[in-house]
Structure 1
Amino acid sequence: MFHLQTLELLHWDYCQRVTLPLDGAIITIAGPNGSGKTTLLDALRTLLGLECSGGRTYKTYARHANAETAWLRALVDNRPRSRQNSSRPFASSLLYSDQVTLVCRIERHGGDWVRRYAILDGVHEIEQLAEKGDRDWLGIEAWKKRLEAAGLTRAIGRVLALEQGQTDRLCELSPKELLRLVFEVFGDQEVLDRYEQARSHQQQLGKEVEQAAGELAHT
């Protein structure tokens, strides 16, 4: 999973313009009810192509802003994880700068709202992004594929989609269930699945050998 460094909101819900630092090992979002915790988390979810919480959608927040366009922008750490340049998170998108800009543009289109996405090499401000042509923007499905290639797996997406209060359920999981979730998030679930398949196959072969031995004993 790539690492977000900053998140900027422009005309999102009742926020005129807010920039939040996210470049820390642990980020805590705290505050009383109505302080905007869900608003912030839903902005992050929308930028990452995930569903908002509590039946809300990105359109809900765009309407509240009373503006023609809402923007979500994040700077992402794209430094290589090894000496190979291809180990950069967004190398699959042919982006090789140490920082990458992710952006979601939500525009009023007739009587509805439409969201489009873009990913750019380096640091780009919203004012620059507003000048980009329509060909530079991606739909939601293409966007999800780009982020998945950069490390945003479906398992991580499910964790990020947890609503407030649901995180307590993680403490209620059995050790086996929690271990499976950890394997899913860090991409090792496929290894476990292959192991289970191999074990089942081995057990099936053992039964067939026992059956064949029994049949031979009666001949």
Structure 2
Amino acid sequence: MSPVNTLVRTPTENPDANNSTSLPKHGVVGVVRLGAVGEAVLKIVVANLQEILNLPVDILPTRQTPDFAYSDSRKQYHAALILKKLAESRRPHPRILALVSVDLFIPVLTHVFGEAQMGGRAAVVSLHRLKQKEEGGGVSLDIFYERAAKVALHEVAHTFDLVHCKQPECIMRLSSGPNDLDELPLFFCEYCEAFLEEAYRRYGIQRLHD
């Protein structure tokens, strides 16, 4: 995995993808847009998942906004219902990440930036609040893109059993607000990186590069 702290903006092609019989025909992670999500943020999320997790990542066909998860009482979308639907996908990918522009919640919290099945298949990231400053107003595209990449990495790592980390310089540190997100690095601490490598072995996940 790459110990970089710079946002990757373009997915890189795997030079062995067309020639190697050792790599699967599909990515380990499939990323799907549910509703209106921009092409630029999609590609940046995919690029950073691929680079930092060292895994092949595919972009899946866009699906509709998950209206089945909408709560009239909350005026938000229930993240757990979206995860359940994603986990039932017939796609061959071991992990599925959804990007949505709607606001997400779980019953015990007012909102969530993202949610994942711990050690499971599915994760979801909401871009809704990532465009805003904590004190009000909007943020630059660069900050928005970086926040989206960080939340995506954090949530997908949960599907590989990584828990929240207390190390200050780790992407798995818990973030309670946008300002906390901005302070997170775009990499795992040495402990979480070791846990992630062990999870790949345990789940039989093949990395892009050794």
TM superposition score normalised by structure 2:
0.25
The structure with the greater share of residues assigned to strand is 1
TM superposition score normalised by structure 1:
0.24
Q: Which has the larger radius of gyration?
A: 1
The structure with the greater share of residues assigned to helix is 1
Structure of greater relative contact order (alpha carbons < 8 Å, 6+ residues apart): 2
